[in-house]
Amino acid sequence: MEEAKTTQGDDVALAAAGDTSAFERVYRTHVARVHGLARRMAGPEAADELTQDVFVRAWQKLGTFRGDASFGTWLHRLAVNVIIERFRSLGTQRDRFLADGEETLARLSAPRPSGDFRMDFDTALARLPHAARNIFLLHDVEGYKHHEIGSLLGISAGTSKSQLHRARTLMRTHLERRT
């Protein structure tokens, strides 16, 4: 008799009950997306460790998943929270909005030669100050609203809007220098 295929929902329920094989399947389904988010928000040097931290936290909190949203949405929100928590624990919260605009523009003035827009975009994104980059990613890439970003980061919606404007301006400046 053939064994029935399990769905993602089945795997999540089995993993919540302690089935490590089911959790491994959940991990394999979502690891690339979580790693990509960690890489974009924290940089490639921290992405592996943060991805591991996200899945450790997911394993610990799997019992709190109620199914109100898809598991992928729940895991994504958990990942954002883990990454932001890491920034806070490293003390970046106090200086995330203090980078000197002139200094930032000077760093953007030497773009890496490339005919590939994706590489130019990634270079510009990597050169943004952490706060501006995170807000840019959360808003423009991940689709969060300013009030949600404010809640996640402990800032006002207005601060989120101004940092998004700053990020877009710096990105535009860098990318225009490439043309």
Q: What is the model's pTM?
A: 0.63
Q: What angle do CA 145, 90, 60 make, to 5 degrees?
A: 70
* pLDDT at residue 20, as a whole number: 93
* pLDDT at residue 29, as a whole number: 95
**Do residues 167 and 132 lie in contact, with contact meaning Cβ atoms separated by under 8 Å?**
yes
**Do residues 16 and 5 lie in contact, with contact meaning Cβ atoms separated by under 8 Å?**
no
* Signed CA dihedral, 102, 103, 104, 105: sign only: positive
Q: Which pair of structure tokens corresponds to residue 178?
A: 């490439």
On the question of pLDDT at 36 being above 70, the answer is yes
87/6: higher pLDDT = 87
Write the pLDDT tens digit of every residue in 43-96.
888 899 999 999 999 999 998 998 888 899 899 999 999 988 887 776 544 454
On the question of pLDDT at 179 being above 60, the answer is no
Question: What sections of 2-156 are H helices per DSSP?
Answer: 8-16, 20-42, 44-61, 71-89, 92-95, 101-108, 117-127, 130-136, 146-153
Coil, strand or helix at 163: helix
